């Protein structure tokens, strides 16, 4: 099992915090997001990790990881960055992680053992986290539905919490056969479309094309960092509440 961390973007919503560093190198609770990700993967038995770089790529050279650079990072989105890892994804089982999330290693372990060619993790307790981050969680949350461990709906704008049974967290497992299916779908799209495609939109396209996506439901123990408000909220609640449902940390780190 290999690890891939998508770290090409700048993260402009963090404002001055990313003026001189990539988003995954922003600090949270004493470590950078990237260090938390590497630690969680290592704790899960994944020590071969490739970071997909773009903005200020040289700053990742401090870490003993492999890297692949998306030279078009400034004019493309996450799916284009993922395509830069084609050689790895075509031959290896890979845990793919967004660069702006942190998570407990048990989530990685559970995902790595899941059945299916393409498997995504989702948070059944998402509302706890979204209520902390947003005055109205529906301003950001998207539709999500699964049936018997298989994804059936994702990514629509909704106005009713009843249409949301979880939220995709940005951590997925792609096996070589799954990657083959993904590339077949992307071969139907123009370069311009692919350059503007985010991961959720890709998952929607896969469903439309009848491709099976398995799911692993988790209950908290992860965070997404979009802006300075997220960092401030997480710092406050993690200092005040040792039983916080979304505390991602573990012993031995």
The CATH number of the domain where 47 resides is what? 3.90.550.10
Does some domain include residue 48? yes
Does some domain include residue 87? yes
Residues spanned by the domain of 223: 2-240
pLDDT of the chain, 253 residues: tens digit per residue:
999 999 999 998 899 999 999 999 999 999 999 999 999 999 999 999 999 999 999 999 999 899 999 999 999 999 999 999 999 999 999 999 999 999 999 999 999 999 999 999 999 999 999 999 999 999 999 999 999 999 999 999 999 999 999 999 999 999 999 999 999 999 999 999 999 999 999 999 999 999 999 999 999 999 999 999 999 999 999 888 778 999 999 988 8
Does some domain include residue 247? no
Number of compact structural domains in the chain:
1
Does some domain include residue 53? yes
pTM of the predicted protein model: 0.96
Spatial contact of 37 and 129, defined as CB atoms under 8 Å apart: no
Distances in Å between the alpha carbon of 223 and those of 1, 191, 231? Answer: 23, 32, 10
């Amino acid at each position: 099992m290999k690890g891939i961390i998508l770290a090409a973007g700048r993260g402009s919503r963090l404002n001055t915090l990313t003026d001189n560093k990539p988003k995954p190198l922003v600090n949270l609770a004493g470590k950078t997001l990237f260090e938390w990700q590497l630690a969680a993967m290592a704790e899960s038995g994944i020590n071969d990790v490739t970071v997909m770089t773009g903005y200020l790529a040289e700053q990742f050279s401090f870490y003993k990881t492999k890297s692949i650079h998306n030279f078009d990072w400034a004019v493309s989105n996450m799916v284009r960055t993922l395509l830069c890892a084609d050689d790895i994804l075509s031959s290896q089982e890979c845990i793919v992680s967004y660069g702006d999330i942190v998570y407990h290693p048990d989530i990685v372990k559970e995902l790595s053992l899941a059945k299916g060619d393409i498997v995504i993790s989702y948070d059944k307790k998402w509302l706890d986290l979204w209520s902390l981050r947003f005055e109205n969680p529906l301003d950001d949350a998207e539709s999500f539905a699964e049936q018997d461990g298989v994804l059936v709906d994702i990514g629509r704008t909704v106005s009713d919490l009843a249409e949301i049974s979880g939220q995709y967290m940005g951590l997925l497992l792609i096996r070589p056969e799954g990657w083959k299916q993904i590339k077949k779908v992307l071969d139907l799209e123009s370069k311009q479309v692919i350059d503007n495609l985010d991961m959720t939109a890709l998952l929607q396209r896969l469903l439309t094309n009848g491709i099976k996506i398995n799911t692993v439901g988790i209950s908290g123990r992860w965070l997404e960092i979009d802006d300075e408000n997220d960092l401030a909220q997480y710092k406050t609640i993690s200092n005040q509440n040792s039983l916080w449902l979304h505390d991602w940390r573990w012993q031995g780190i």
